[in-house]
Amino acid sequence: MSSSLEYTKERQLELWGNYNKILSQINSISEENNISRSIKLLPVTKFKPASDIKALYDLGLREFGENYVQELLIKSELLPKDIKWHFIGGLQSNKPKDLKIIKNLTVETIDSLKKAKKLNESRIELTDIYLQINVSNEDQKYGISLNNLNELDEIIEFIIKSCQFLNLKGLMCIGSISQSQISNDINPDFEKLQNLQSILNSKYQINLQLSMGMSSDFKQAIKQGTSLIRIGTDIFGSRP
């Protein structure tokens, strides 16, 4: 990765065009479906140079998603300090402490009591978190299993009662690829997350939001209740 923050005008216009195209898709889908909830578009920048982030930063964007602790540390060091980073990658239990120096952090991938505990211990400011749910039960390593709702209750109660620095913002999932290819149809992965959201919201009297939808399936995610879509490819192009 180049450490330069310089970008070409052409690249900036390309990224801005892609970003705005998705914004207008969000708007038109919302209108067509009478959706009034606000939907945030999070650019996902893993494997992309810091200069791409700077190009969008200079046009006013302040939130970006990264997947790897090391890459996030390098980029946050290079880039302006008022960026709000979303960590959306698999988090190993020994890694939360490495994120300590990142200000304005949201962690979307908490999936165990241990990780919640470690993250809480390493923060010095209120940090938004999402619980990652393994809705597809694919051979995905990360996410709380839907077959283990007791564990989910335990984690939520622990966060609410005992984590001074964690603000439970919502639930996150990665929809399976096979489901994303069936367009214009209810996505069962998203449906599971939405059902869980309403169960938990009434059980705990909280207001969990959903983070679901990527380049291949964000349109359906909007129709099924998401408040945050995480877009890499459709803004920055394909990754190596």
Binding site for ligand PLP (CB under 6 A): 44, 46, 67, 88, 174, 214-216, 230-234
Least Å from the CB of residue 105 to ligand PLP? 16
Burial of 30 (0-12, 13-18, 19+ CB in 10 A): middle
Least Å from the CB of residue 164 to ligand PLP? 27
Q: Indicate the residue among 225 and 232 with the shorter CB distance to ligand PLP.
A: 232
Q: Indicate the residue among 46 and 84 with the shorter CB distance to ligand PLP.
A: 46
Least Å from the CB of residue 65 to ligand PLP? 7
Q: Indicate the residue among 59 and 177 with the shorter CB distance to ligand PLP.
A: 177
Q: Hey, which residues does 203 pair with through a beta bridge?
A: none
User: By Cβ distance, which residue is nearest to ligand PLP?
Assistant: 232
Least Å from the CB of residue 174 to ligand PLP? 5
Q: Indicate the residue among 142 and 204 with the shorter CB distance to ligand PLP.
A: 142
- Binning the chain into helix, strand and coil, the percentages to the nearest 5 are 40, 20, 40
Q: Indicate the residue among 92 and 162 with the shorter CB distance to ligand PLP.
A: 92
Three-state DSSP class for 58? coil
Q: Hey, which residues does 110 pair with through a beta bridge?
A: 131
Residue 58, C-beta contacts closer than 8 angstroms, at least 6 positions apart: 12
Taking the mean position of all CA atoms in its chain, how far away is CA 20? 19
Residue 40 belongs to what H/E stretch? strand 40-43
Least Å from the CB of residue 62 to ligand PLP? 18
Amino acid occupying residue 147? N
